[in-house]
Amino acid sequence: MLKKLAVLFLIILVCAGCAKTDPLGNLPDKYSGDITCTAAVCALSEPACEYTLSFARKDGTDTIEVLAPESVAGITATVEQGSAGVSYEGKYLDTLLPYYWGASPIDALSALFDAVKDLTPVWYDLSDKTLTAEYLSSYDNAEIRHKLTFDRETLALKSAEAELDGTLIMIIEVQSLQLYENN
C-alpha cells in the first residue's frame, strides 16, 4: 500500500512539474490586455505590398496607423472585431477582398492577437530561443492558418505567417511590442 501511495505521489509531482513548464500556459493571459506594437507586413498579393504599421489595442478597440509607404502614411483606422472592414473618420468601409478575418494587412495584427488570446494552438515547437505555435481557424469553408514565433523567455511575438487555404498570403515581422496586464 505504501508503494502505491509513493508511486501516486510521484505521478502527481511529475504532472505538477509538467504543468509549470508548459510554454503555452501563459500566452492567453499575456495577450489578453492592452497591446502596442510596430510591425512590417508584407502582403504576398499580386503585386506584393509592404507596409509598416503601428498597432494599439486599448480596452478592446484596435487602432492601426500606416507608417509606410509614404504614399499612405498617416492613415489611421479602427478595426471592427471579427470583421475585415475598417472604420475611418466615422464611416465604415468593407475591405471587400480578401473577405476573411485577418487576411488583409489592416486586420492581420488584430487576428494574430485574437488567435493567441482565444484559440488553442494545433501544434507548437520549442527551440533554444524561440517558441513557434500554429493556430487554425476557418471561415465560410476557408482555412486560415497562423504560424507565430515568440521569444521563448519573454513570450514576445517576433514574427508570423498567415496562410489562406494552404497558400502563404502574409509575412509579419514585429519590430517592437509592449504588452500591458489586464486590470
Say which residue, 142 or 12, is predicted with more confidence.
142
Give the CA angle between residues 83, 66, 62 to the nearest 5°. Answer: 40
For the stretch 148-173, pLDDT in tens is: 999 999 999 999 999 999 999 999 99
Per-residue buried b or exposed e for 68-87, using 16+ beta carbons within 10 Å of the residue's own CB: eeeeeeeeebebbeeebbbe
Task: For each of the domains in the chain, give its residue range(s) and CATH number, in order of start.
Answer: 24-179 (2.50.20.10)
Spacing of C-alpha 33 from chain mean position: 13
pLDDT score of 1:
57
For the stretch 86-145, pLDDT in tens is: 665 666 665 554 567 788 888 899 999 999 999 999 999 998 899 999 999 988 889 999
Q: Is the pLDDT of residue 7 over 60?
A: no
Percent of the chain scoring above 90 in pLDDT: 52
